[in-house]
Structure 1
Amino acid sequence: MKFGIITTERDEVVNDLIRCCENLKIDYKIISPSSIVAGFGVDFKLKYYKSFLDELNCYFVRNLGWESFFRFDVLEYLNKFVPVINPPEGLNRASNKFLTSMLLELHNIPQPRTIATENINEAVMWVDKFEDAVLKPIFGCRGEGIVRLKKEMSIAVKLKTLTEFKEKYGVFYIQEFIEPIGKDHRDIRAFVVDDEVVGAMYRIGGENWKNNVSQGGKIEVCEITEEIEKIALKAKNALGLFYAGVDIIESEDGLKVLEVNSTPSWIGLSKVCETNIAEKLVEKIIQKI
């Protein structure tokens, strides 16, 4: 078994995968996406320095970076010869919040009311209709660039915020803000591998409405209920992923999916989860291929 790990950086997740490969006696190779070369009509399809990428059994995509969408195309090409986890089509869908919302809608999976538009007048109108709204970049992660807008704000403040946002991101992706059921702002991160939810945690923002661990959110173990399992599996499958971190919000109407992450970290979850997530993931990948 020869296992490739495609990543722009050697973070805690990559180190955890390396430890897992060493424990399971699996050969591995770290590959920087910026140094992959694709060839057509020459003596190779894809290579990394002097290595031919079709010689490995599987590739795990940790981090492609945002420097070039060409890297997604390279993964599509690589996937024709060797299995890529997550599949390139799924990575592309999950990296785009608009496509994610579209697929959740088409598969009848509950999500907050959401609007996507380039029109600033429409954006203002829907912020007022939602009364409390969250403005997000269509492409982005870790809670970066997210802004909260309320109807009660002055029109000048809303227009200034929306204008600056449009200049930076181009498209408005606006979701209604879901009020917390309890005293704390929290959501659920369910970690799904193949056909199993292997762990779940609460991400708690406290007075800060952003629950991302990267934004200072605290974590607690979350019991995997039948409802969590059902919605997390449906969301992962809707996007065509092998594994995913599914972000779920509790509302008075039941659970709703906020986001589906196709390259999720499990380091925080591992602190409150008894399952060795890296080993579970690698074992499931081996079974798949």
Structure 2
Amino acid sequence: MIHIVPKPTDTPDDDSTGAVIWELKRAGARCRVLDLGAVDPLDSGLENELIWVCGIRQDGHQFETLNVLSLHNRVINTPESIVACASKAMTTALLLKCGVQTPETAYIKAEAQARDFVLRHGKVVYKPLYGYDGNGIRLVTKPDELGPGPWYLQEYIRNDRDYRVFVLGGEAVGAISRVSDSLTHNIHQGGTGMPVTIDKDMRAIAEAAASAVGIDYCGVDLLHDGEGYTVLEVNGTPNWHCMAAPIPELLARYLIQEERKMRA
């Protein structure tokens, strides 16, 4: 049995969870929706089961419930990797530890250090530490524009698009470019996505980023800085809008494969 934690932002017109459930049922897999809000993880009755987390609310109860369930079950993605991706500071730290190219970044509480970072780069991008869908991202060109800290700041890299690469089981399986007139090209912020071919450099850095955070599947967001690709962030509960690759089918196949491994 595959137990499914649905993405809380799903809608009838954009139902990521439902798309994968349809593929699971088409393949003859047994599955059911798991409501974390109705689970006591200390007495769940779940043991040696596969739990797929399509999405998660950013609250302590869901994180802790998954943490406890992961002691006796195979959770995809693991709570540790979801938490690592949710924190932009931890994602950056893991990328740096593994030597994966990423923009120069600082996570700063001292205002003097933040001001120095802005003055040194001229333009920097402020991002909420736990932000999603491009919300709250803004360009800072002067120290007076910093606002209240602490600050997660990245050097600004001039661009007119970014790339989302979907990595599954360590392999890059699909990619899109996202174009917009705004600072962030996220589709939720008005960006337009278009499938692109995964070139060897894109594949190498996206797969290295996924490995760095130790995740089953993810969306790796890239910029091209003129010399090569650099990783902006890694998404642990990614959307796959505009992908030409059949992501729901590939995800379903991966979940079935992983459950079979547990039974072997």
TM > 0.5 between the two? yes
Q: Which amino acid aligns with 2:242?
A: L
Give the Cα separation in 2 of the matches to 1:282 and 1:84. Answer: 14
Larger-gyration structure (1/2): 1
8 Å contact from structure 1 (residues 188, 200) kept in 2: yes
5+ long unaligned stretches in structure 2: 260-264
- Tell me if 1:233 matches 2:207: yes
8 Å contact from structure 2 (residues 100, 231) kept in 1: yes
Q: Which residue of 2 aligns with 1:254?
A: 228
1:27 to 26, 30, 36: 30
1:120 to 108, 111, 121: 111
5+ long unaligned stretches in structure 1: 47-51, 152-157
- Tell me if 1:284 matches 2:258: no
SS in 1 for 2:206: helix
Give the Cα separation in 2 of the matches to 1:258 and 1:10. Answer: 24
SS in 1 for 2:5: strand
Q: Which residue of 2 aligns with 1:85?
A: 76
Give the Cα separation in 1 of the matches to 2:146 and 2:212. Answer: 31
Give the Cα separation in 1 of the matches to 2:64 and 2:187. Answer: 30
User: TM-score normalized by structure 1?
Assistant: 0.84
1:107-146 alignment runs, 5 A limit: 107-146=98-137
How far the C-alpha of 1:212 sits from its partner, in A, is: 0.1
Give the Cα separation in 2 of the matches to 1:10 and 1:113. Answer: 34
**Higher relative contact order, structure no. (Cα contacts within 8 Å, ≥ 6 residues apart):** 2
1:47-62 alignment runs, 5 A limit: 52-54=45-47, 57-62=49-54
SS in 1 for 2:242: helix
**Larger proportion of strand:** 1
Q: Which residue of 2 aligns with 1:194?
A: 169
1:176 to 119, 138, 155: 155
User: TM-score normalized by structure 2?
Assistant: 0.91
Q: Which residue of 2 aligns with 1:6?
A: 5
How far the C-alpha of 1:14 sits from its partner, in A, is: 1.0
Q: Which residue of 2 aligns with 1:265?
A: 239
- Tell me if 1:218 matches 2:210: no
SS in 1 for 2:167: strand
8 Å contact from structure 1 (residues 199, 269) kept in 2: no
How many percent of aligned residue pairs carry the same amino acid? 28
Q: How many residues align?
A: 255
